[in-house]
Structure formats: structure tokens, C-alpha cells
């Protein structure tokens, strides 16, 4: 799943990067520049939002088993004798999906503020 997500991100990351690089309202020199920048930022925001949503859905799908694994670790007091490398890797990867959702959600929020500034006129 992570490889497919990475492949998709690699295919669309230019949209997010272009939105970050688009001129802000203060740097856009005329209404046409603002309109063009707003379109670029809107596309980047939609892409970042989609990536955040996909990562959040994957985390939600893994959540019930994640809770089970964390409860099992608590039950044995995090004893090394009960240590399972695969279980720990699963927990780390599940939280990684949550981290990806937060990262892309943050980028979408940042682009929303930029878009709001561009459309303020």
C-alpha cells in the first residue's frame, strides 16, 4: 500500500510543489496573475487533500488491529520476551499513515490560506 501511495505521490507532487511556488497575493502583479496563481494553488490543494484523505482512510482501516497490538503490548508490560518484530513494524507503519495524513493535511491547510489571500480581492 505504501509503495502504491508513493507512486501516486510521485506522479502528482509537481502540482503541490507548483502551488507552493505560485506567487502570493502580495507578489501577483495583476488580476490575471492572481487568477492563474489561484488556479494553480487550488489544484495543489485538491491534490494534497486527496493524499491526506487516502492516508487517513488507510490509517482508519488499520486502527482496530493497531488498538489490538497496543493493548497486547500493554498487557505484557512491553516485555522484551514478548517482543515481535512484525508487530512493532505494523504499529510503526500504521502511525506512519497517520503522519502522512497529518503532513498532507497541513500542506492542504497552508494552501487554503494562500488561496484565501489570492481570492480576497
pLDDT tens per residue across span 21-30 = 998 877 777 8
Percent helix, strand and coil across the chain, each rounded to 5? 85, 0, 15
Output 118 or 100, whichever has higher pLDDT.
Answer: 100
For 58, the domain range is 2-118
Backbone angles phi, psi at 29, to 5 degrees: -85, -25
Checking if the pLDDT of 77 tops 90, the result is: no
Encode pLDDT of 1-39 as tens digits. 889 999 999 999 999 999 999 988 777 778 888 899 999
Count of domains for the chain: 1
Measuring CA to CA, how many Å separate 76 from each of 59, 71, 94?
25, 9, 21
Q: What angle do CA 36, 108, 8 make, to 5 degrees?
A: 90
**What average pLDDT does range 60-67 have in this prediction?**
96
Checking if the pLDDT of 121 tops 70, the result is: no
Residue 72: how many CB atoms within 10 A of its CB?
A: 12
Amino acid at each position: 500500500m505504501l509503495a502504491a501511495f508513493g507512486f501516486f505521490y510521485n506522479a502528482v507532487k509537481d502540482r503541490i510543489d507548483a502551488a507552493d511556488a505560485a506567487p502570493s497575493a502580495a507578489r501577483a502583479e495583476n488580476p490575471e496573475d492572481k487568477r492563474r496563481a489561484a488556479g494553480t494553488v487550488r489544484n495543489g490543494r485538491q491534490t494534497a487533500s486527496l493524499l491526506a484523505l487516502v492516508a487517513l482512510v488507510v490509517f482508519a482501516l488499520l486502527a482496530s488491529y493497531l488498538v489490538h497490538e497496543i493493548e497486547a503490548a500493554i498487557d505484557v508490560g512491553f516485555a522484551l520476551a514478548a517482543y515481535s518484530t512484525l508487530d512493532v513494524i505494523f504499529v510503526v507503519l500504521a502511525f506512519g499513515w497517520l503522519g502522512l495524513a497529518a503532513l498532507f493535511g497541513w500542506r492542504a491547510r497552508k494552501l487554503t490560506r494562500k488561496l484565501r489571500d489570492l481570492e480576497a480581492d
